[in-house]
């Protein structure tokens, strides 16, 4: 039973629960960023490139068999090697937006922490009562 008790204590520690909550929220946040890139950013980029679907942008690295539609899914299913740069661009934009958002959040949290820093903790305050009593005893013994 000792190992089961140890595991239970480990599993319900605050850090493990916080990590689990962070992973769940992170997954949901990733979906939000994916939608942001797919539904908002890429259409604006497509104004300049003329193509909305970047996931279907690729270069063929081999001959295309006859009768195979020129889509990434069909070409890879046919076994033709491809350089799928459009998918990479989409993932890269997702990462950059996510990194920027996390940077801005951490920056704001640090500003809030600095603004609400405890001035009593930074400046030395009055010593504890037992220290004061010991100092008084010391001083009276010196006299």
Strands (DSSP E) along 58-101, which ranges? Answer: 59-60, 82-83
pLDDT of residue 75: 87
Weakly modelled stretches of the chain, pLDDT under 70: 1, 14, 51-53, 118-124
Distance CA 77, CA 93 (A): 26
pLDDT of residue 137: 93
pLDDT of residue 142: 92
pLDDT of residue 54: 73
Cα atoms in the Cβ-side hemisphere of radius 13 Å centred on 137 = 6
pLDDT of residue 136: 92
Where do the structural domains in the chain lie, given as residue ranges? 2-142
CATH number of 2-142: 1.10.1200.120
pLDDT of residue 106: 84
CB atoms within 10 A of CB 37: 22
């Amino acid at each position: 039973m000792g190992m089961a008790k140890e595991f239970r204590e480990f599993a319900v520690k605050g850090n493990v629960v916080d990590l689990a909550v962070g992973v769940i929220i992170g997954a949901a946040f990733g979906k939000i960023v994916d939608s942001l890139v797919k539904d908002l950013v890429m259409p604006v980029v497509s104004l300049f490139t003329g193509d909305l679907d970047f996931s279907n942008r690729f270069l063929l690295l081999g001959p295309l068999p006859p009768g195979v539609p020129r889509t990434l899914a069909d070409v890879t299913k046919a076994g033709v090697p491809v350089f799928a740069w459009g998918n990479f661009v989409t993932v890269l934009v997702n990462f950059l937006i996510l990194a920027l958002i996390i940077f801005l959040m951490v920056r704001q949290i640090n500003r809030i922490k600095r603004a609400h820093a405890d001035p009593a903790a930074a400046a030395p305050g009055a010593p504890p009562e037992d220290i004061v009593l010991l100092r008084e005893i010391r001083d009276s013994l010196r006299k």
